[in-house]
């Protein structure tokens, strides 16, 4: 296994856009960092040079519905941009042995997001007179997958001073339903296995889009990973509950919606097709995460359309089922069949 150092260039879209209250009295004292999903690149026209994102004639042009919700609630906002397409020669990485590659740093860019979070926190302190009391991550797709990785691996979601980089995570439809909170070494799952590791896990609220349920057919997968995206999201919730983290994780499935929630469509339409507007739910999800992290109100239990036993963070019966699921995960074909053909029940 090799480590790698990747080079992101601001002239090729590597950037951060910050939106702050003009009056510090209107600031709620907290900061949201966002991380977008895959399929962004300068070469393909979906990223801009760092100084081209802001248009003074249309200052909110690069803000979607979710961004505007965050700002309306008084948060400071920092939007990160990065190349998230591999094998196009846009992000080059040097492996430990000196080999140059362009495929290793397109999705799993946790250090990149953390570095920009540090920049954002300092900018907020300079402009608004004090550092943020809370910093949250919103990640969509690959951005949500980055958030999972940071929260699952001990020490990653930490600044140099040892404090949490992100105090809570709002993860929107993690890409392919990964990563799973499992690392097998010598036949044992060693991830989130100690009290200290579980204590460092920050509240994680996830939204699952049921129709985003593709089948990943690339390579081999371990028995705790399905080729069904939806199945992986459910297995993730099951595994965290089995590891005693049900009080720090929530997952809510949304029916009849695919990977995007209409956040970039002002009127909720793409041509003649009208889609569900997830921003109405996201409005509440933002409030739920904030209240949860502040210790005021825990969010409602996880909700999923799934055959019995129902997802529940409070039942030992479900914990036993979660353990059995990891040990006897069906073949990917059976998992796909089971997750798509079962009669759904509302819980």
Would residue 146 count as lying in a domain? Answer: no
Q: Are residues 19 and 125 in the same domain?
A: yes
Q: Give bridge partners of residue 81 from the DSSP assignment.
A: 15
Domain interval for residue 88:
1-132
Q: Are residues 25 and 126 in the same domain?
A: yes
Would residue 56 count as lying in a domain? Answer: yes
Burial class (CB in 10 A: 0-12, 13-18, 19+), 155: exposed
Number of domains in the chain: 2
Q: Are residues 242 and 325 in the same domain?
A: yes
Would residue 144 count as lying in a domain? Answer: no
**Residue 184 clears pLDDT 60, i.e. is over it:** yes
The DSSP element (H or E) to which 205 belongs, if any, is: strand 204-209
87-103 tens-digit pLDDT: 888 888 888 899 888 87
Q: Are residues 195 and 344 in the same domain?
A: yes
Q: Which pLDDT band, with edges at 50, 70 and 90, does 312 fall under?
A: very low
167-183 tens-digit pLDDT: 999 999 999 999 999 99
35-56 tens-digit pLDDT: 999 889 999 999 999 999 999 9
Task: Name the residue with higher pLDDT: 196 or 310.
Answer: 196
**Residue 314 clears pLDDT 50, i.e. is over it:** no
Q: Are residues 206 and 119 in the same domain?
A: no
Query: Lowest-pLDDT range, 72-86, 151-165, 298-312?
Result: 298-312
Task: Name the residue with higher pLDDT: 269 or 6.
Answer: 6
How far apart, in whole angstroms, are the C-alpha atoms of residue 201 and residue 151?
Answer: 6
Q: Are residues 5 and 65 in the same domain?
A: yes
- Note the pLDDT of residue 329: 40
123-158 tens-digit pLDDT: 999 999 999 999 999 999 999 999 999 999 999 999
Of 114, 132, 150, which one is at a domain's C-terminal end?
Answer: 132
Would residue 102 count as lying in a domain? Answer: yes
How far apart, in whole angstroms, are the C-alpha atoms of residue 191 and residue 187?
Answer: 12
Q: Are residues 126 and 166 in the same domain?
A: no
223-245 tens-digit pLDDT: 888 889 999 999 999 999 999 99
How far apart, in whole angstroms, are the C-alpha atoms of residue 187 and residue 256?
Answer: 39
Q: Give bridge partners of residue 15 from the DSSP assignment.
A: 81
**Residue 163 clears pLDDT 60, i.e. is over it:** yes
Would residue 264 count as lying in a domain? Answer: no
35's CB contacts (< 8 A; 6+ apart) are 80, 113, 137, 138, 139, 140, 142, 143, 144, 146, 147
Q: Which pLDDT band, with edges at 50, 70 and 90, does 303 fall under?
A: very high
Burial class (CB in 10 A: 0-12, 13-18, 19+), 23: exposed
Q: State pTM to two decimals.
A: 0.86
- Note the pLDDT of residue 265: 82
Q: Are residues 195 and 275 in the same domain?
A: yes
The DSSP element (H or E) to which 287 belongs, if any, is: helix 279-293
Would residue 234 count as lying in a domain? Answer: yes
Q: Are residues 328 and 190 in the same domain?
A: yes
Q: What are the helix and strand counts (H, E) for the chain?
A: 8, 14
Q: Are residues 239 and 308 in the same domain?
A: yes
């Amino acid at each position: 296994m090799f480590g790698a150092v990747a080079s992101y260039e601001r002239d090729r879209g590597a950037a951060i856009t910050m939106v702050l209250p003009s009056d510090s009295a209107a600031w709620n004292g907290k900061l949201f960092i966002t991380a977008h999903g895959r399929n962004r690149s300068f070469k393909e026209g979906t990223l801009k040079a760092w100084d081209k994102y802001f248009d003074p004639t249309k200052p909110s042009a690069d803000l979607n519905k979710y961004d505007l919700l965050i700002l309306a609630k008084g948060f400071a906002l920092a939007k990160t941009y990065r190349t998230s397409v591999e094998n196009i020669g846009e992000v080059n990485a040097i492996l430990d042995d000196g080999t140059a590659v362009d495929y290793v740093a397109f999705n799993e860019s946790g250090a990149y997001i953390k570095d920009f979070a540090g920049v954002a926190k300092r900018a907020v302190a300079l402009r608004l007179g004090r550092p943020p009391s809370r910093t949250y991550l919103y990640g969509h797709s690959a951005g949500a997958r980055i958030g999972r990785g940071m929260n699952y691996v001990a020490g990653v979601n930490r600044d140099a001073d040892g404090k949490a980089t992100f105090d809570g995570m709002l993860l929107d439809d993690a890409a392919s339903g990964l990563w799973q909170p499992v690392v097998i070494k010598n036949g044992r799952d060693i991830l989130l296995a100690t009290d200290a590791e579980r204590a460092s896990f920050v509240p994680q609220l996830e939204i699952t889009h049921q129709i985003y349920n593709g089948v990943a057919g690339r390579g081999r997968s371990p028995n705790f990973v399905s080729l069904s995206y939806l199945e992986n999201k459910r297995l993730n919730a099951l595994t965290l509950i089995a590891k005693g983290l049900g009080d720090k994780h929530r997952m809510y499935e949304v029916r009849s919606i695919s990977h995007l929630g209409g956040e970039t469509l002002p009127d909720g339409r793409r041509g003649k097709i009208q889609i569900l507007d997830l921003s109405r739910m996201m409005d509440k999800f933002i409030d739920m995460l904030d209240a949860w992290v502040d210790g005021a109100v825990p969010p409602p239990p996880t909700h999923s359309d799934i055959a019995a036993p129902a997802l529940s963070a409070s039942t030992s019966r479900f914990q036993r089922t979660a353990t059995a699921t990891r040990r006897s995960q069906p073949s990917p074909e059976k998992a796909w069949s089971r997750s798509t053909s079962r009669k759904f029940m509302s819980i």
